[in-house]
Amino acid sequence: MSDEKFAIGVVGLGSMGMGAALSCIKAGLATYGVDVNPAACASLQQAGAVEAGSDGRKFAGKLDALLLLVVNAAQVETVLFGAEGLAEHLRPGTPVMVSATVSPEDARAIAARLQGMGLAMLDAPVSGGAAKAAQGAMTVMASGPDEVFASLRPVLDAVAEKTYEIGPEIGLGATVKIIHQLLAGVHIAAGAEAMALAARAGIPLGLMYDVVTHAAGNSWMFENRMKGVVEGDYTPTSAVDIFVKDMGLVTETGRALKFPLPLASTAYAMYLNASNAGFGAEADSAVIKTFAGIDLPDRRKS
């Protein structure tokens, strides 16, 4: 270990990964970062990381654990097993905390492949957004063997306010996150529909937002996401296309269990429609832009 500190590598220095990596630094862990964005790597190194760059293979052997905060299963597989994959460069037994939102089937397949290389995995999706990540206060919903939880305790203590240990079976963490994303996605879509109706009725959106956030119809997602609608700001911390992926996983899970998900299926169609209309890279609240016949605030025009 570097200077006898627990050494953690964080792959994916986006809105949540950067916060998690900074939280690891604050917790006194020897922190390494991997991202294709050189500016993110430079920022992390300036904040106190031991090293950060686009190729983690050169320091993979120094790590006591690896944390993946990338977008999907394909990125997880590329990071671990691709041409510049890190898995074969990790020391035997190194725990890999996979915190992307993936299907239970993908989680199990990744874990089996890691196990075949002598590596352990924690199926550990997270929630809380960029703000909670920066505070070291994410919620982790994880499954895996007790010994893997124990080996990752320094990382979990650094990045999480609450860690739910769901069980030993890989895939349970992924399932809980998918159910959570059902709610998150439906809340955003419902919030967008409500605000679109307010716009159509001529109700000032700021007033509507204020009423809802002080009344029973509020939700965390409404309060967080519809603020951007009121301000005309669709800068993405979570994009429409993220919810195309996540709500796709929700509907696939419903099909696999032969269980109807009428609200989730409608929300999924709304995100697909928004992506198809060209809003996929904008904030997920941009799903409201697919409603016709309304005028919305736009910060770019102000």
Task: List active site positions.
Answer: 177
d(CA 270, CA 275): 9
**Quick check: helix, strand or coil at residue 111?**
helix
Strand-pairing partners, residue 9, are 32, 66
H or E element, residue 120:
strand 120-123
In angstroms, how far is CA 26 from the centroid of its own chain?
Answer: 21
Amino acid, single-letter form, for residue 51: E
Distances (CA, A) of 286 to 62, 113, 204, 241, 277: 42, 38, 18, 10, 10
Strands 126-127, 138-143: pairing is antiparallel
Burial letters 251-288, b for 16+ CB under 10 A, else e: bebbeeeeeebeebeebbebbbebbeeebbebbbbbbb
d(CA 30, CA 211): 46
- The contacts of residue 16 (CB under 8 Å, 6+ apart) are 69, 126, 128, 129, 130, 133, 138
DSSP secondary structure letter of residue 278: I
d(CA 195, CA 204): 9
Report residue 275 as tokens: 């992506």
